Amino acid sequence: MIAPDLETGIATLRELIDRARAVLPFTGAGISTECGIPDFRSPGGLWTKNRPIPFDEFLASQEMRNEAWRRRFAMEDKFAAARPGRGHLALASLYRIGKTPAVVTQNIDNLHQSSGIAPEHVVELHGNNTYALCLDCATRYELAWVKDKLSACGGQAPDCPDCGGPIKSATVSFGQAMPEHAMRRAEELTLACDLFLAVGSSLVVWPAAGFPLLAKRNGARLVIINREATEFDGVADLVVREDIGTVLAPLIVH
């Protein structure tokens, strides 16, 4: 069912949530756009301005590593200033009242954690952009350290002082292996829920996009909240093509 208007969409969503035992939110970039973080694919999105740097190019080229970090710090003001939006706060409310055991997200912005959901209950399929890791020994580095090294070395991306490996933001790039633990946890949560909320995701990035179908095939109700149509709208129990924050704001409990 595609909601004919905002009011019907909100009312039907509330009814489905009230009847559900375990609600699993699955979030994409659309939930964070009202927080000032641009998405990737829409007109004016990040990938319309810069071609994403594939993982193999990052590994093979010092120049590409330099460029990756230049882009990250060019976006620093937007990421640093971002605060959880109405969608994040609504999902955090469901978490606090026990309706939602965890959130699965494609986002890398740390806003679910900032909204009050415990870090161990935020399953990050594409990693986190607020710190860095050595790709060889997995040592964690804070962004301030990376920024200082870049500045001191004229924009050259630093290597790990411990092992000499390349240091990358803790995100998953094209061609990089998905995090096994996060994927397993997302699958477990998907199979355990009876209501799956796909929020702000274009549902085109695989394998993450497979979770809504897995939930539906396992007997869960499927709700898709996204401004644009997705290829899974036809199998969803409810589709709401309205502003995400406006749709979810009535769920916020202070």
Enumerate the active-site residues: 126
The neighbour count for residue 63, using CB atoms within 10 Å, is 11
Exposure string of 165-194, with b = 16+ CB inside 10 Å and e = fewer, is bbbbbbbbbeebeebeebbebbbebbeebb
DSSP string of 129-168?
EEEEEETTT--EEEHHHHHHHHHHTTTPPPBPTTT--BEE
Cis before residue 101, ω within 30 degrees of 0?
Answer: no
Question: 136-153: b or e for each residue (b if 16 or more CB lie within 10 Å)?
Answer: eeeeebebeebeebbeee
Adjacency order of strands within the sheet including 140-142: 140-142, 127-134, 167-171
User: Could you write out the three-class secondary structure of 13-68?
Assistant: HHHHHHHCCCEEEEECHHHCHHHCCCCCCCCCCHHHHCCCCCHHHHHHCHHHHHHH
End-to-end CA distance of the chain: 31
